[in-house]
Amino acid sequence: MEFNPNGVGQPNGNYFALPYSPEEANVVLLSVPWDVTTSYAPGTADGPQAILNASPQLDLHDPFVKDAWKVGIGTLPIDEGWRDKSAELRELAEDVIERLENGEPEDSPAIVKHLKTINSASESLNDYVYAEAKNWTEKGKIVGVVGGEHSVPFGLIKALSEKHESLGILHIDAHCDLRVAYEGFNYSHASIMYNVLDKIPAVDRLVQVAVRDFSEEEISLAMSHPKIVPFTDFELCEEKFQGMSWHDQCEQIIEQLPKKVYISFDIDGLTPDCCPNTGTPVPGGLTFQEAIYLLKLIAESGRKIVGFDLVEVAPDDKGEWDANVGARMLYKLCNLAYKSNQ
């Protein structure tokens, strides 16, 4: 049956109920249902399925991309084995976190044993994401990761670093994610950007936008590291209060990015009304439209968006709001990444 972009969305196992297989697609979405190291509220392992379920009800017109439904967005099947492994290891992680919060030393035998198991599994997950990403990027696809906690895109960024000699990251997030093995988890959701800078030398610029909840050590690193350019939420708001337009702020942000850009989008970078059930919500942040406008300007700046992730969307049992917002942001990321490569 011929696909009707104006008709009722008919769930078919693909994001947005689009008709493209990964082989036919220009943009391939890899779902990673994993939230083992979440330090506050779990649930983002269910994010990919929730976004998938909510996405068919989106209307497909995009004012920034002509005939957006023809972009060609393909969906890889969600590997439920990783979802099951996440649930199994989450119990160990919660035991580690509880012991640490009760003052038990990190080198106690029980904690060391759990951390060894979790860290080994995290490396296996990274290897899986890397292998999938490398396979599809070598076929000329733009790959986007749908999480899942923020640790999950490491393998994609690593794969892209082997394809592109120089790479910049636009990191939209409430947090800097610059902690070193937070809570003993080598690949913690709170350590993703530290790990990227430490282990992936091709990443030569990290531009952080809307960050507003961080440790003293993290902000010190962000302010002093030669590769990091932070645009904190506090500074952005102060400039707005003094009359600077969001357009001008976006121009300042984009000026710091190289020609090839990876976008790492933590949903908690948005205002909490857009993501009330995310694991670590923080007051403040970008509005939905501010975020889209920034992405649009990047796509129109002559820069290429070579890959992206959308992470930390956590569903609500009572409704689909978080997943609805996540699906809409995912659609924009797909479309604008494609547009930037034309």
- Give DSSP secondary structure letters for 4-73: -TTS-----SSGGG----TTT-SEEEEEE---TT-SS---GGGHHHHHHHHGGGS---BTTBTTGGGS-E
Q: Answer whether residue 235 is part of any domain.
A: yes
Residue type (1 letter), 306? V
Q: Answer whether residue 8 is part of any domain.
A: no
**3 state SS of 257:** coil
Report in angstroms the alpha-carbon separations of 300 from 18, 295, 309, 334.
25, 9, 20, 14
Residues 28 and 136 sit within 8 Å (Cβ to Cβ): yes
Q: Answer whether residue 9 is part of any domain.
A: no
**pLDDT number for residue 66:** 96
Q: Answer whether residue 301 is part of any domain.
A: yes
Q: Answer whether residue 6 is part of any domain.
A: no
* CATH number of the structural domain spanning residue 242: 3.40.800.10
Answer yes or no: is 316 a known binding residue. no
Q: Is 284 left (phi over 0), alpha (psi -120 to 50) or beta?
A: left
Question: Mean pLDDT in the chain?
Answer: 97
Report in angstroms the alpha-carbon separations of 105 from 38, 140, 209, 236.
20, 48, 34, 39
Residues 297 and 245 sit within 8 Å (Cβ to Cβ): no
Q: Residue 1: pLDDT above 90?
A: no
Answer yes or no: is 189 a known binding residue. no
Enter the tokens of residue 192.
Answer: 């993703």
Answer yes or no: is 175 a known binding residue. yes
* 244: Cα within 13 Å, side-chain hemisphere: 13
**pLDDT number for residue 42:** 84
Q: What is the Cα 151 distance to its own chain's centre?
A: 9
Q: What's the domain count of the chain?
A: 1
Tell me the residue length of the chain.
Answer: 342
Reported as a single tens digit per residue, the pLDDT across 247-263 is: 999 999 999 999 999 99
Q: Answer whether residue 1 is part of any domain.
A: no
> What is the span of the domain harbouring residue 100?
15-337
Reported as a single tens digit per residue, the pLDDT across 25-58 is: 999 999 999 999 998 888 999 999 999 999 999 9
Share of the chain above pLDDT 90, in %: 96
Q: Answer whether residue 316 is part of any domain.
A: yes
Answer yes or no: is 268 a known binding residue. yes
Q: Residue 212: pLDDT above 90?
A: yes
Reported as a single tens digit per residue, the pLDDT across 86-124 is: 999 999 999 999 999 999 999 999 999 999 999 999 999
Q: Answer whether residue 251 is part of any domain.
A: yes
Distance in angstroms (rounded) separating the CA atoms of residues 147 and 182: 19
Strands (E), the chain: 27-32, 73-75, 142-147, 167-172, 203-211, 228-232, 260-266, 304-311
Distance in angstroms (rounded) separating the CA atoms of residues 181 and 192: 9
Answer yes or no: is 177 a known binding residue. yes
Distance in angstroms (rounded) separating the CA atoms of residues 129 and 125: 6
